[in-house]
Chains A and B, each alone.
Chain A
Amino acid sequence: MIKKATVVVLILVGLLFSYVALSLPPTGDHEAPAALHVSPRYIEKAYEETKTPNMVCAVLADYRSYDTLGETVVIVVAGIATVFILGVRRPSDEA
């Protein structure tokens, strides 16, 4: 009973997502809302301000440095957490 209800709910959610996805702007649309706010400024000024031809690199490491800093710190913290979970010597391992 619960399993059937889960399947029905999943199908409904999938149909809802497909319906919403139909109203998204097409790939590469320069009139999309996401491409109107700060993107033109980056595209016009990125090379002038950073001397970096690859715009992705300039945005990632210069205009959005805080994001990349947080990303790096999250990765390092994940590594440290892995050491704490897997690297400890448990009493059950001794035998």
Chain B
Amino acid sequence: MRKGFGSIVLDVAFRHLAPFMILYAVYVLVHGHYGPGGGFQAGAMLGLALCLVQLVQGHDAKPKWGLGMTAGLVLACVGALIYVGIGLAAFVWSGNFLDYGVLPIAAIPAEARALGILGIESGVTLGVMGVIFVIFDLLTRDKGQGA
């Protein structure tokens, strides 16, 4: 099944929609400090964009763009590890677990906290993105294709 949707209009429309979805997801992630948004929403939107990328390419054995299931799962675990890693990094500068104020990444503790929040939000984003993509990939794969 090479054709994604069977309709040229939907195919072309979604082909041009996917990059803007990814761009808006990154905006939601980095603008989470100033408005509604944050890691979870950005991750879900990135995951949906990746599913869209998978859909417009159809069901090939080897898609040209996008992730595979294993890569998605690895990215999800890497996201959770980024979160835990930033939390554990505070130990090195003798802070409490998940206390970003002690990290030497900004002049005053409050700004270090802002950057630490951005760091853990990116971890959440990677985790949610990977999980949504993995579930979608498992649901749409052909029967008997296996892991």
Q: What residues make up the interface of A, taking CB atoms closer than 8 Å to B? A: 48-54, 56-58, 60-62, 65-66, 68-69, 71-73, 75-76, 78-80, 82-83, 86-89, 93-94
Contacts and interface: CB of A to CB of B under 8 A. Distances in A.
Contacts of B147: 83, 87-89
Contacts, number: 103
Classify the interface of chain B: helix, strand, loop or mixed.
helix
B143 A65 contact: no
Interface string B16-50: 00000000000000001111101100000000000
Residue with the greatest number of chain A CB neighbours at <10 A, chosen from B77, B123, B124, B139: B124
Contact of A76 (B35, B76, B138): B76
Contact of B120 (A50, A58, A68, A88): A68
Contacts of A73: 80
Contacts of B138: 82-83, 86-87
Contacts of B146: 87-89, 93
Interface of B: 32-36, 38-39, 69, 73, 76-77, 79-80, 83-84, 87, 98, 100, 110-111, 113-114, 116-117, 120-121, 123-124, 127-128, 130-131, 134-135, 138-139, 143-144, 146-147
Nearest to A57: B32
B28 to A, nearest CB: 12
Given A73-B80, A76-B76, A87-B69, A52 B117 contact: yes
Contacts of A48: 110
Contacts of A56: 36, 38
